[in-house]
């Protein structure tokens, strides 16, 4: 056995599972654990990872990366092992956020991603270059859950980890509630000095906005090849900024991975910080203020009211006046086919996509600020 396999099998929760139960004999339980462990096993080859930026340039050149508070990231890694937790807007998150860390001098961590991203050549790149960790979401197989928790707990002894507490991307646009599985797994590492750094990623325009908004709720897992084809379609003429904002490290000392209440408290604390850090971009403000048919003057007044509310809550604003919002957001939303602006009036062209952007800041404004 290699060191990781031996360490996983020697963990208390795995040893108890191997004693039998859950409808499995000891041998069957061991075989199931080893099968899942082989699936989870991943290797990052940093030199090849960094070189991936060049074949991905056609997409990356369309996204201007804007990093905020990188001093928190560098200070956290200087002190000890780090877990990064981020909201999840787009498939481009996997590209943008690790590169922002690398630009800041922080080696990209192992990143947890949905297992649907691990088919074909892309799967080989994830397994043997980027070091991505395949996650089976929504499974209730106790063998898998125990193996995942043990593997992550072991992995943190030698690697940092990046994951998305929401699980998958937000199809509605809003910040979703956190899932607790990987929080519990991180706490099971029992590493002194381990901290979580909250990260928020925000885009002027999300590459797959039309695809996500049309579905609204994820009903089934689609093949990534199909999703990729749709993203290529909507990449024509696409241009956006990606704001990646880091928060202060949150120490895991005092949290109990065996206490559901403690894990929930940690998850909600981290997700709350991510929501507070989230960059409020002009497109989101205009979308939240928009009505089906409205004059520019009326829209300006509604934008001002929303900006006042956001400023009062200490939101991370990219713009501070209605004039700046209208100047920055009108053209990209109109080019994207979401609104029409002509003769001093604004009209909605794609209500679903407009709502998708408006909901992205709903956690920062009062219910009265919701206009759709």
**Domains of the chain as residue ranges with CATH:** 44-149+157-277 (3.40.1130), 280-369 (1.10.10)
Please state which of the ranges 36-45, 285-294, 302-311 shows the lowest mean pLDDT: 36-45
pTM of the model: 0.90
Rounded Cα gap, residues 303 and 323, in angstroms? 9
Rounded Cα gap, residues 43 and 30, in angstroms? 23
pLDDT tens digits along 225-244: 566 666 677 677 899 999 99
Report pLDDT for 371. Answer: 41
Report pLDDT for 138. Answer: 81
Report pLDDT for 259. Answer: 93
Report pLDDT for 347. Answer: 98
In 3D space, the residue among 35, 261, 42 whose CA is nearest the CA of residue 146 turns out to be 35
Q: For 115-247, list the strands marked E by DSSP.
A: 133-135, 161-163, 195-203, 240-246
Q: Tokens 């075989």 belong to which residue?
A: 31
pLDDT tens digits along 140-161: 899 999 999 999 999 999 999 9
Rounded Cα gap, residues 183 and 165, in angstroms? 8
pLDDT above 70: percentage of residues in the chain: 90
């Amino acid at each position: 056995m290699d060191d990781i396999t031996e360490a996983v099998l020697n963990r208390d929760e795995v040893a108890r599972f191997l004693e039998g139960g859950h409808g499995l004999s000891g041998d069957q339980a061991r075989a199931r654990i080893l099968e899942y462990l082989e699936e989870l096993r991943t290797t990052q080859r940093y030199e090849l990872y960094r070189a991936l930026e060049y074949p991905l340039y056609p997409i990356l050149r369309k996204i201007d990366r804007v990093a905020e508070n990188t001093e928190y990231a560098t200070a956290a890694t200087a002190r000890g092992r780090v877990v990064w937790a981020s909201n999840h807007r787009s498939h481009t998150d996997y590209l943008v956020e690790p590169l922002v860390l690398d630009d800041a001098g922080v080696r990209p961590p192992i990143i947890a991603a949905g297992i649907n991203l691990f088919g074909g050549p892309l799967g080989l790149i994830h397994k043997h270059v980027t070091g991505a960790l395949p996650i089976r979401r929504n499974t209730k197989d106790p063998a898998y859950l125990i193996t995942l928790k043990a593997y992550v707990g072991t992995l943190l002894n030698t690697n940092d980890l990046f994951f998305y507490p929401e699980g998958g991307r937000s199809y509605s646009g809003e910040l979703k509630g956190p899932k607790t599985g990987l929080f519990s797994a991180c706490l099971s590492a029992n590493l002194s000095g381990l901290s979580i750094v909250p990260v928020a990623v925000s885009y002027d325009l999300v590459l797959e906005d039309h695809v996500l908004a049309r579905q609204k709720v994820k009903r089934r897992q689609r093949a990534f090849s199909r999703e990729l084809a749709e993203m290529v379609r909507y990449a024509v003429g696409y241009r956006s900024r990606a704001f990646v904002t880091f928060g202060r490290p949150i120490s895991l000392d005092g949290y109990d991975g065996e206490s559901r209440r403690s894990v929930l408290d940690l998850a909600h604390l981290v997700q709350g910080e991510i929501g507070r850090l989230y960059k409020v971009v002009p497109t989101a403000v205009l979308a939240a203020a928009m009505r089906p048919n409205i004059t520019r003057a009326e829209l300006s007044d509604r934008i001002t009211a929303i900006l006042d509310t956001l400023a009062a809550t200490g939101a991370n604003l990219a713009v501070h006046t209605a004039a700046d919002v209208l100047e920055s957001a009108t053209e990209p939303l109109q080019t994207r086919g979401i609104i029409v602006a002509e003769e001093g009036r604004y009209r909605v062209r794609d209500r679903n996509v407009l709502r998708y952007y408006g909901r992205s800041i709903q956690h920062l404004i009062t219910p009265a600020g919701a206009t759709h």
